[in-house]
Structure 1
Amino acid sequence: MSSTMTIVVPISIGAPKLEPALFNLAATLTPRLATDGEFHGPSIDEFFPETLFSIAGVPVHRITLIQLIAVAILVLIMVLGTRRLKVVPGRFQSVVEMGFGFVRNNVAHEMLGRKDGERFMPLLTTIFFMTLFFNLTGLIPFFNIAGTSIAAVPFLLAIVSYVTFIYAGLRKSPKNFFKNALFPAGVPWPAYIIVTPLEFISTFLVRPVTLMLRLLMNMVVGHMLLVLCFSATWFFFFTVGGGWAFLGIGTLAFSGAFSVFEILVAVLQAYIFTVLTAVYIQLAVAEEH
């Protein structure tokens, strides 16, 4: 019996194969189940799906399709919720406005104030809802994997956050932004020999990496736990059966509990990523810069 539980940073790279594409799609949309009498735990190979087809030389696999579907659903919700705005909103418009209000009041205005909050509101809203919808695909039947569980998406979001941080700082104080970031006030000048390299590493190198890894690893670990619990449930109920089905009840309970927990993690990670982006922007536009 083999079970791979090693956690690595998965980067989706598909081989340019066309022939197995759509025939194997249905099989890859569900977790691996024990059909040969052995238990198959989650594998890191699930983050490296086969290429289904290519568009202009760019490989498209099932996680790419999940991401595209999530984007299409998000755009559709936003368009339908805002195309005919009413003074007295209906239920659907109210839900959309609640989402915008949550980002505006709890992130943008809270972290940046009203002026800068409104200025960066479109970016923060996009980051929050994109991250949220991509995270939630890991809990949707037949998707079963988060769009943020491959490194490309968290990396892209981290780069956007990082570039916005630098842009905001340079826009606020073109001459002093890097100086204040690397040479903080109140430090004795000999200490800059140590402080400046540390500030450079922590501010301009570590920050985007930690942003990416925090989101990525939460989604990867969450997926592995869910697949482990559901695969074990299937194994105990339908493969070995008998008295072992009692253990299946336990793994099924854990599956439900982890599913609820993953909803919380999906929302929380979207919120944390957006808040940290706002915090970095706030640091860039602070008066000392």
Structure 2
Amino acid sequence: MSLNVLGASILAAEGGEGSGFQAPTPAEFYQPLIGQGDWAITRPIVVLFISVALISWFLVATTRKAAIVPSKGQWVTEGIYGMVRNGLARDIIGSRDFLRFVPLLFALFTMILVNNLFGIIPPVQYPTMSRIGVPIALTLVVFVVYHAVGIRKNGFGGHIKHMIPPGLPKPIYVLIIPLELITYFITRPLTLALRLFGNMFAGHMLLLLFILGGEYMLIHGAFGLKIAGIGSFLLALVLTAFEGLIEFLQAYIFTLLAATYIAGSLADEH
């Protein structure tokens, strides 16, 4: 059980019978370690740095002595790299331009995946992407890249023109141009960040609710509630397995959409 779960559990238990169960709140996701406010060093940022160090160590350790017959670690690294390189970058961006974007897409996928999986791996049990600032930062990287490559290829005016579907009657441009600009500059980055954040936030909140609720019923409930508490813990185990699948899918979807947006900026036609 993670530290935030333990802390919330202790508060619920100390409240006594009169106070009742204290459901988890969004405050569980803000855990300052040093300082307070916007510039505090929080648990999410520490977990993020740990993930970067862990990924770097694993990649170096598994590729430093690469062999024709791969070790288990090398096999895992090559499998993930091959999926991102061939299944995402090459198939979506195209064989002509994909190679220069493979490092970015590989870094995005591995960072998001590891930080998502931290949500169900003890003793961390905290998905870093459940803090909205982290998905926003990654989305800004993707936003800058796909606009930069489009401007570099077509020029600023050509990049904007590239957003408009060809063959439309001129009068419709009055409606289409604002909609396309909103799509490319607001809707895409907003949904990219919120999709990742929302899934990680909601999944972790559900796990907290079932674990804390089950613990409260076992400690403070009557016999019937204690049975329900056992069921709550069992359901939390099922949700943990389901959450692991969601965490992988969200890393894949984020990387897939990043590749799709880059491919759209590089396309010769809309």
TM score, norm. by length of structure 2: 0.91
Indicate whether 1:46 and 2:28 are aligned: yes
Q: Which runs of 4+ in 1 moved over 6 A?
A: none
Aligned-partner Cα distance in 2 for 1:206–1:80? 40
Q: Offset at 1:50? A: 2.6
Q: Offset at 1:196? A: 0.5
Listed as ranges, the matches of 1:41-120 within 5 Å are: 41-53=23-35, 58-120=39-101
Q: Tell me if structure 1 keeps the 8 A contact 2:5–2:208.
A: no
Q: Which amino acid aligns with 1:121?
A: V
Q: Tell me if structure 2 keeps the 8 A contact 1:52–1:62.
A: no
Q: Which amino acid aligns with 2:161?
A: K
Q: Tell me if structure 1 keeps the 8 A contact 2:115–2:129.
A: yes
Return 5+ residue gaps in structure 2 as ranges.
none
Q: Tell me if structure 2 keeps the 8 A contact 1:30–1:144.
A: no
Aligned-partner Cα distance in 2 for 1:89–1:230? 40
Indicate whether 1:217 and 2:188 are aligned: no
Greater helix percent: which structure?
Answer: 2
Q: Tell me if structure 2 keeps the 8 A contact 1:31–1:231.
A: no
Listed as ranges, the matches of 1:142-153 within 5 Å are: 142-153=123-134
Alpha-carbon distance change, 89 to 32 in structure 1, aligned in 2, over 3 angstroms: same
Q: What CA RMSD, in Å, does the superposition of the two structures yield over aligned residues? A: 1.9
Aligned-partner Cα distance in 2 for 1:27–1:275? 33
Q: Offset at 1:58? A: 4.3
Q: Tell me if structure 2 keeps the 8 A contact 1:30–1:143.
A: no
Q: Offset at 1:29? A: 6.3
**Deviations along 1:202-249, whole A, 9 cap, x unmatched?**
111111111000000111101110000000111122232533211012
**Deviations along 1:235-288, whole A, 9 cap, x unmatched?**
122232533211012111210111011101100000000000000011101112
Return 5+ residue gaps in structure 1 as ranges.
1-25
Partner of 2:235: 254
Single out whichever of 243-252 and 225-234 deviates more from structure 2.
243-252
Aligned-partner Cα distance in 1 for 2:108–2:6? 28
Indicate whether 1:131 and 2:112 are aligned: yes
* Percent of pairs with identical residues: 36
Partner of 2:159: 177
Alpha-carbon distance change, 29 to 237 in structure 1, aligned in 2, over 3 angstroms: closer
Aligned counterpart for 2:172 among listed residues 179, 185, 191 = 191
Name the count of aligned residue pairs.
261
Q: Which amino acid aligns with 2:43?
A: R
Alpha-carbon distance change, 248 to 212 in structure 1, aligned in 2, over 3 angstroms: same
Q: Offset at 1:72? A: 1.4
Q: Offset at 1:30? A: 3.4
